[in-house]
Structure 1
Amino acid sequence: SSGNMAYVIFADQVIKPRFECKNIYEMTSELAKRMGVEQKFTEGRTQEEWMRHLYQQSVQAIPALPDFDTFRQQGIFKQRDPEQHHVAYKSFREDPLANPLETPSGKIEIYSAALADIAAKWQLEKEDIIDPLPVYAAGFENYDDPLASRYPLQLTGFHFKGRVHSTYGNVDVLKAACRQEMWINPMDAAQRGITNGDMIRIFNDRGEVQIAAKVTPRMMPGVVALGEGAWYTPDSKRIDRAGSINVLTSQRPSPLAKGNPSHTNLVQVAKV
């Protein structure tokens, strides 16, 4: 699912697993078994039993859904809004007291009490800022970092149109139609003798990537961008030739989500 979609697709198995291949649920269940917590993890259900159990909860919320086997056979279910449009938080807007939001106050919050509580209780590094208000926080590896003297460009990641994260990143026709490139401002490119389409090096202490440059005023000076999800393809010198932003990304987790900080990386760029 992604965003406010009015349909759901059953992504069924195309072929049975070959040889000893296991799905993610089987892998994690085996790990849980060896750690002595298999029953707590699986609750006695296989992957398909979990799918059926969770689907039934959706049926209770959306009675128009067909039964599991029918949905699996037809492959897609579309729901039509009788009013032909969707209004965000409609029930809350009509009666906020009867339909509170899932926030501590039940309202839309500018000041987040939940984030304030997290910030007060979690042990955070100096540059890890969790603020209950929507304020700017430079974060780690920012433009003011001493490391910027060696790596003056801020590398940020973005969702690429030719993939869903890394899914479909191996499809040749998509790679040909949507070439992986690093976006760079014309002023930063000119300082480095880079023109549109040139092969460039993107590097820092963590690694190096070599791909083509896309020179565009859509990037602000001092910032470069690389679509996330490209499949790591190193050569004999461990230089990635596919444009994987993970090669250049810190393993330090982001402050709140504890995820991949692919918007916070200092790099240098040079023409090959």
Structure 2
Amino acid sequence: MSQVPNQALPKYRFDWKGAAALFFGGFVPAMALSIINVLMMMLFKVNYQFETWYMVLLNLVMWSGAILSFDYFICRPQTGKHLRFNFSTKNLSTYLLVFPLMLGVIFIAEFFTSLIPISGPVFGPLYEYFSEMMEQLTSSLWGMILMAVLMAPVFEEIVFRGIIQKGLINRGYSAKAAIWIAAFLFGLVHANPWQFVGAVLLGAAIGYVYERTKSLFLAILLHMFNNALAAVLIYVGGTESFAEYFGISVYLLLALGLVLLGVFYYLFTYKYEIHHSE
């Protein structure tokens, strides 16, 4: 994948209008598909809501609709150009730095997630509902790979890093503020406290790498890396927890994460010169 020339990339801005375009662009086709399913239930007594192919289709129309809506209603009117991103690859040195860095953040995120209660009058029922949803999602191997390992990284990185984070920077926000705002919103869409914490930390790490390298391709790869590790743990060990699978303390996992993050953040930031045109 080659570097997209700087002048070819649209300088769109992200504000409340952009947020509305994303929300309604995703909501309308998702609602239309849901209405079709309700009609099928009424007419033919069939419910596709929990079928893997239906969930794949629902994710596809929702995220595609959001991205196309932002392109048509925001990007083109603001810039006169259609939505484009830099999907350039980087040399091997970059990958050898960012993947261990990401693994460190994954370990740290698991530690903080482990501190959130899973029982009690508030968290108990919520965790039970979340666990049932995850069990449903992981019941189909091909569905989980398609949705979690392939589709989610592509669509979510385009929206949260490519559109929101970059759009906020184009609007005048500092890179640090844009990274954390996009990461916070990324956490919110996961709609449960256990994924929220990890998603914010992982989103901030991916956002930082994206801001420095300008490569959305690299951001997508890091997201795929995280989701693929979770998928492997689930199907090999029946858990998403590294600490549980390897039988180690979450505090040891935290220590390993801090070492990985500290070492490879230092190398990435100060020892490796990143070449880009923006």
The TM-score normalised by the length of structure 2 is 0.18
Structure (1 or 2) with the greater strand fraction: 1
* TM value normalised by structure 1: 0.18
